[in-house]
Amino acid sequence: GNSVTQMEGPVTLSEEAFLTINCTYTATGYPSLFWYVQYPGEGLQLLLKATKADDKGSNKGFEATYRKETTSFHLEKGSVQVSDSAVYFCALSDLDYKLSFGAGTTVTVRA
């Protein structure tokens, strides 16, 4: 079956620091990969996605590259802000359209 393994948190950073959240997956087919973000008190929002190998998703300064050879989709941001404090979820979707989520990583950015 499909599964997502995500770097455990919590992660605490200072403003302007570099952020990486590791994500690896297991899938039987050729899934689409996603990063979702959940800000405090809110629902999930799509942050970025990639639908095939070597695709790079990017949004709000965040990037992630679909690496089929390492089955990874690591999230990166070069300079974080306090407003990036949130829970980040890696997820995949296969042909059945169902999302499989990682456990989530809580990121706190301090001024």
Partner 1 sequence: SQTIHQWPATLVQPVGSPLSLECTVEGTSNPNLYWYRQAAGRGLQLLFYSVGIGQISSEVPQNLSASRPQDRQFILSSKKLLLSDSGFYLCAWSEDYGYTFGSGTRLTVV
Question: In the complex, which residues of this chain contact partner 1 (CB under 8 A)?
Answer: 6, 32, 34, 36, 42-46, 49, 51, 89, 93, 97-104
The span from the CA of 22 to the CA of 39, in Å, is 19
The 8-class DSSP code of residue 78 comes to: S
**Distance from C-alpha of 5 to C-alpha of 26, rounded to nearest angstrom:** 8
Instruction: Name the minimum Å distance from CB 81 to partner 1.
Output: 23
Residue 78: CB minimum distance to partner 1, A: 26
Nearer to partner 1, 17 or 55 (CB): 55
Cα–Cα distance measured from residue 2 to residue 20, given in angstroms and rounded to the nearest whole number: 23
Contact indicator for 62, 14 with CB cutoff of 8 Å: no
Q: Which CB, 12 or 79, lies closer to partner 1?
A: 12
CB of 79 to partner 1, least distance (A): 27
